[in-house]
Chains A and B, each alone.
Chain A
Amino acid sequence: MHIVVCIKQVPDSAQIRVHPVTNTIMRQGVPTIINPFDLFALEEALRLRDRFGGEVTVLTMGPPMAEDSLRKALTFGADRAVLLTDRCFAGSDTLATSYALAAAICKIGETWGVPDFVFTGKQTIDGDTAQVGPGIAKRLGLNQLTYVSRIVEVEPSSGRLLVQRRAEGGVQELESRLPALITMLEGTNDIRRGSLDDALRAARAEIVTWNAAAAGIADLSPCGLRGSPTVVKSVFAPKPRAEKAEQIATAGTAPDEVADAAVAEIFRRLPGLEAELLS
């Protein structure tokens, strides 16, 4: 089984500051981490590999320093790391990013075998669009399974796949077929700890580094800024609505009395609700 996991190096949002005037993110001196959602994807991929055998290839697009994230992924036990880096990718939005990553996944398939799975996190913590995974799936014609909370069954021989995904108001159980792209939901697993062996292997490993040409991208027009229709018009912090909390008068301080007062107030403000609920 060959599994490709797409990861992204992001600034550690816990330590990020926003410029008070321009409202842009001040990345200087902020440590970078693997996008936390991608770690759930990576762990799920590693578990599938451990169960069925095969290889996990991690892929990222970014500046040369994104290599750190790939090494980290190798520490957790990934078998191979590919860094897609080229100046022509600078300024990519989600459309251009998914174009470049899809091309690189094709190249990975040609080189080490067509992947059965492509994994991504559900979204990144810096962009929060959740668009790149679906973009890759669409371009590669993979079955697209987003917000997956659990992989219930995998039958590599028949290619049958059963997953649970979070949907509004509940959990959907979906049956699909390989090859598939899965975007993994947070909290689905815990990334394993790397052993000393893995840490040393990762630090010594050769990172496969491709520019656009090496990744087999001939047409550069859909890449980078040129290939990105998204334009940031302005960035602003929403004004907090400074409303004073209202107080509801209660008959007493016993829990029942407080609850009664709150419910009465809700019913007063939403006429018809009481009838609807209690009818």
Chain B
Amino acid sequence: MPTYTAPLRDMRFVLYDLHGGGRLARLPGCEECTPEVIDAVLAEAARLCEEVLFPLNRAGDEEGCRLADGAVATPKGFREAYRLVREGGWTALACDPAFGGQGLPHAVKVLVDEMMCSANLAFALTPGLSFGAYAALYAHGSEALKARWLPPLVDGRWTGTMCLTEPHCGTDLGLLRTRAVPQGDGSYRVSGTKIFISAGEHDLAENIVHLVLARLPGAPTGVKGISLFLVPKLLVGEDGRPGARNGVSCGAIEHKMGLCASPTCLLNFDGAAGWLVGEPHKGLRAMFAMMNLERLAVGIQGLGLAEAAYRNAAAYARERLQGRAPSGAKCPDKPADPIIVHPDVRRMLLTQRAIVEGGRALAVWTALALDDHARHPDSDRRREAGDLAALLTPVAKALLTDLGFEAANLGMQVFGGHGYIRDHGMEHYVRDARVTQIYEGTNGIQALDLVGRKLPAHGGRLLRGFFHPVAAYLDATAENAVLAEFTRPLAKAFARLQQATAHIARAGLKNPDEAAAAAADYLHLFGLVALAYLWTRMAEIARTKAEDDGFHRAKIGTARFFMDRMLPRTAALSAAILAGGRSVTGFDEGDF
């Protein structure tokens, strides 16, 4: 059986030492977020995840969800766990105090989210989607809608969903058919079928608030004719209590590769009462308010699973006695050496570790940009932070889920045959990790978002928010001989990224297919350079720390591994990008 202990030490290192998270307390509305407060929050979140959520992970996967008579039963223990999460106030963590929230910054939320994802991703999806629904409603709902629907979403009495996908349209929402007809009293009747709705029906909370994309009568075709509606599972009376059933029903739940304990629902809306959120025909924009947060959240899912897989693989590699080290017995008094003596096993473990700790640094960086964007008193700083968050979001989503899956898969590999069978829980991480590369916009879509939207936006302004600090850092450390083992490869990879960026900008201008053909490789190139920048800075900080308890030594060691063994992937990526899209786009369709 796997185990889970929250990596609080590394979380503190990333938040405070690397990103100067102590400054969060200087942001308006965050005055109380001192390191002491944040530490206390993280420590209690860790206990909740270790003691309540993690023990349900395996059993929940085995049992799965069941649909009977339109009602979904979640696995044994999930209701009680949700009650503890709710009563502990965890659903309110990053919500506005005006609606009962705790007002903590995103930088804290991503760390709590990571723990929940490591401990029990299938469980974590439900409160995660509630937060997404909260964010969209908070940003775009009328005051009356917010007053009625936000408090129960914040305190977790009710949960939320996002209903976008329909049987014939996923990525291309312009095709969607769900209709909303105005009733003259300010409400609408919503009809249509939505699929792949996580937590669309369940027994964890007394009501569910669906945010549904639909078309108004006579709406323009395509994405410019989509509006956002709030459609509750149960209608709510004047007293705020849920009562009669609305016209929403769960027709089926999906049988999936992973996340078996999370119900993925087909929802039928049959003239269900709903209310418009935001302006007519501007629904997609309103939905994107939550999509961006959700994309970062999905990146965190990949990270959380990678962390869980790494820790268990490292523990197993220390204990599993098998064969001898290639250079001769390391433990001659034992029947065999532990497999951690093998360079190839160490390569796998270090790859996982570099992904996890580098990924955590990237996630917290993105989250801090979101916090600055939302709260910083200086408007220039707010804009810059918003640029950085917009730029890093697709990278965080796709990179952390692609590498997260790689790490989960390596965890299984370290266990050998024992990883492939169910007993050790490693194949469970792999199965759960796989969908993170797909949902919330496939990683291919993230790459197109980066290359097609984020790079050209405002004449390349977003990109400067990343390129300038890296260039400035390389300048400032150019004479630092001790750091050269890190800054040299960083500078080399950064040059590759600049060259690839210029190539894509040029080629893409002439032929958008060229940019699209390079997009996925470009996103990975960008992401690896971002990780290299963060790893270099982490190594620099670790060197200045006096305590020699292994933590900082391991930090430097992992940074070295990343530079030596992972960053060279940028050479291949850059070569592939520069080779152009000819071989991809020119291949005759009939020959596939």
A binding-site residues for B, Cβ under 8 Å: 29, 71-72, 75, 193-200, 202-204
Contact present for A71 and B36 (CB under 8 Å): yes
Cβ A203 vs Cβ B89 within 8 A: no
Q: Assess whether B32 is in contact with A199, with CB atoms less than 8 Å apart.
A: no
Q: Which residue of B lies closest to A196 (CB)?
A: B89
Q: Are A75 and B549 in contact (CB under 8 A)?
A: no
A71–B44 Cα distance when bound, in Å, is: 12
Closest to A193 in B: B47
The listed residue (A29, A72, A193, A200) touching B41 by CB distance below 8 A is: A200
Tell me if B92 counts as interface (CB < 8 A to partner A): yes
Complex A-B: 14 CB contacts under 8 Å = A29-B549, A72-B43, A193-B47, A193-B88, A194-B47, A196-B41, A196-B89, A196-B93, A196-B102, A197-B89, A198-B44, A199-B43, A203-B40, A203-B41
Residues of the A chain whose Cβ atoms lie less than 8 Å from the Cβ of B47: 193-194
Which residues of B in the span 19-64 have a Cβ within 8 Å of any Cβ on A? 32, 34, 36-37, 39-41, 43-45, 47-48, 51-52
Is there an interface contact between B88 and A200, defined as CB atoms closer than 8 Å?
no
Nearest CB on B from A64, distance (A): 13
| A110 shortest CB reach to chain B, Å | 30
Q: Are B44 and A196 in contact (CB under 8 A)?
A: yes
Partner of A71, one of B40, B45, B89, B93: B40
Q: Give the distance in Å from the alpha carbon of A75 to the alpha carbon of B39 in the complex.
A: 12
Q: Is B48 in contact with A203, judged by CB distance below 8 angstroms? A: no
Of A193, A196, A199, which contacts B92 at CB under 8 A?
A196
Which residue numbers of B lie inside 8 Å of A, CB to CB? Answer: 32, 34, 36-37, 39-41, 43-45, 47-48, 51-52, 84, 87-90, 92-93, 102, 547, 549
CB distance from B43 to the nearest CB of A (A): 7
Instruction: Give complex CA distance A29, B39 in Å.
Output: 18
B51 and chain A: residue at smallest CB distance: A193
Give the CA-CA distance A203 to B89 in the complex, in Å: 16
Complex-state Cα separation, A196 to B100, whole angstroms: 13
Contact present for A203 and B44 (CB under 8 Å): no
Closest A residue by C-beta to B35: A203
With A29-B549, A75-B40 as given contacts, are A196 and B88 in contact (CB-CB < 8 Å)?
yes
Question: What is the CA–CA distance of A153 and B89 in the complex, to the nearest angstrom?
Answer: 33
Which residues on the A side are within 8 Å of B84 (C-beta)? 193
Q: Which of A195, A196, A197, A203 contacts B36 (CB 8 A)?
A: A203
If A199-B40, A203-B37 are given as contacts, then 16 extra A-B residue pairs at C-beta distance below 8 Å, sorted by A number, are A75-B44, A194-B44, A195-B44, A195-B88, A195-B89, A196-B44, A196-B89, A197-B89, A197-B102, A199-B41, A199-B43, A200-B32, A200-B41, A203-B36, A203-B41, A204-B37
Cα of A198 to Cα of B48 in the assembled complex, Å: 13
Residues of the B chain whose Cβ atoms lie less than 8 Å from the Cβ of A203: 32, 34, 36-37, 39-41
Determine how close the nearest CB of chain A comes to the CB of B155; give it in whole angstroms.
11
Q: Tell me, rounded to whole Å, the shortest Cβ–Cβ distance linking B56 to chain A.
A: 15
Complex-state Cα separation, A197 to B41, whole angstroms: 9
**Which chain B residues lie closer than 8 Å to A195 at the CB level?**
44, 87-89
How far is the CB of B434 from the nearest CB of chain A, in Å? 32
Q: Is the CB of B52 within 8 A of A196?
A: no
B547 and A29: CB pair below 8 A?
Answer: yes
- How long is the Cα–Cα vector from A29 to B44 in the complex, in angstroms? 22
**Chain A nearest CB: distance from B112 CB in Å?**
9
Decide if B51 touches A200 in the complex (CB within 8 Å). no
Closest to A195 in B: B88
Residue of B nearest to A190 (CB): B51
Contacts of A75 in B (CB 8 A): 40, 43-44
Cβ-defined contact, B32 with A204, below 8 A? yes
CA distance A56 to B289 in the complex (A): 45
**Which residue of chain A lies nearest to B47 when distances are taken between CB atoms in the complex?**
A193
Taking CB atoms, residues of chain A closer than 8 Å to B32 are: 200, 203-204
The verdict on A200 contacting B90 (CB below 8 Å), with A193-B44, A193-B47, A193-B51 known, is: no
Q: Is the CB of A193 within 8 A of B52?
A: yes
B102 x A200 contact (CB < 8 A) = yes
Q: How far is the CB of A75 from chain B (nearest CB, A)?
A: 6
Distance of A196 Cα from B32 Cα, bound (Å)? 14
Query: Complex: how many Å from CA A195 to CA B156?
Result: 14
User: Complex formed: what's the CA distance from A71 to B39 in Å?
Assistant: 11
| Cβ contacts under 8 Å, B87 to chain A | 195
CB-CB nearest in chain A for B86: A195
Tell me, in angstroms, the Cα distance from A194 to B45 when the chains sit together.
9
Separation in Å of the B177 CB from the closest CB of chain A? 41
Partner of B90 from A29, A72, A196, A202 at Cβ < 8 Å: A196
Across-interface contacts of A197 in B (CB, < 8 A): 89, 102
Bound: A202/B88 CA distance, A: 14
Give the residues in chain A near B89, CB-CB below 8 Å.
195-197
Min CB distance A143 to B, Å, is 34
- Residues of chain B within 8 A of A29, CB atoms compared: 547, 549
Residues of B within 8 A of A204 (CB): 32, 37
Bound-complex Cα distance A197 to B87 (A): 10
* List of 10 A-B pairs having minimum Cβ-Cβ separation, nearest first: A196-B89, A203-B37, A195-B88, A199-B40, A203-B40, A199-B44, A194-B44, A29-B549, A197-B89, A195-B89
Provide the residues of chain A in CB contact with B93, threshold 8 Å. 196
* B113 CB to nearest chain A CB (Å): 14
A204 to B34, CA, bound (A): 9
Given the contacts A193-B47, A193-B52, A193-B88, A200 and B549 also touching, CB distance less than 8 Å: no
User: Residues of B contacting A193 with CB < 8 Å?
Assistant: 44, 47-48, 51-52, 84, 88
Question: Given the complex, which residues of A lie within 8 Å of B41, measured CB to CB?
Answer: 196, 199-200, 203
Residues in B whose Cβ lies below 8 Å from that of A194 = 40, 44, 47, 88
Cβ of A199: which chain B residues have Cβ within 8 Å of it? Answer: 37, 40-41, 43-44
A14 to chain B, nearest CB (A): 12
Query: B123 to nearest A CB, angstroms?
Result: 16
Docked complex Cα distance between A195 and B41 (Å): 9
Contacts of B40 in A (CB 8 A): 71-72, 75, 194, 199-200, 202-203
Instruction: Name the residue on A nearest B549 (C-beta).
Output: A29
Chain B residues with Cβ below 8 Å from A200 are 32, 37, 40-41, 102
Query: Nearest Cβ distance between residue B570 and chain A, in whole angstroms?
Result: 37
- Which A-chain residue is minimally distant from B39 (CB atoms)? A203
Least distance between A182 CB and chain B CB atoms (Å): 26
A274 to B82, CA, bound (A): 59
- Greatest chain B CB density within 10 A among A72, A75, A200, A204 is at A200
Provide the bound-state CA to CA distance between A27 and B32, in Å: 31
- State the Cβ distance, B373 to closest chain A Cβ, in Å: 24
Q: A203 — nearest CB in chain B belongs to which residue?
A: B37
Chain A residues whose C-beta falls within 8 Å of the C-beta of B90 in the assembled complex: 196
Taking the nearest CB of chain B, how far is it from the CB of A42, in angstroms? Answer: 15
**Minimum distance in angstroms from B38 CB to a CB of chain A:** 8
Chain B residues lying within 8 Å of A71, measured Cβ to Cβ, are 36, 40
What's the nearest-Cβ distance from chain A to residue B566, in Å?
30
A195-B84 Cα distance, complex, nearest whole Å? 9
Q: How far is the CB of B91 from chain A (nearest CB, A)?
A: 9
Q: Report the bound CA distance from A193 to B390 in whole Å.
A: 37
Tell me how far the C-beta of B88 lies from the nearest C-beta in chain A, rounded to whole angstroms. Answer: 4
**B547 nearest in chain A by CB position:** A29
The distance in angstroms between the C-alpha atoms of A204 and B38, with both chains bound, is 11
User: In whole angstroms, what is the CA distance A71 to B38 when docked?
Assistant: 13
Give the shortest distance, in Å, between B103 (CB) and chain A (any CB): 10
Q: In the complex, what distance in Å separates the CA atom of A200 from the CA atom of B549?
A: 30
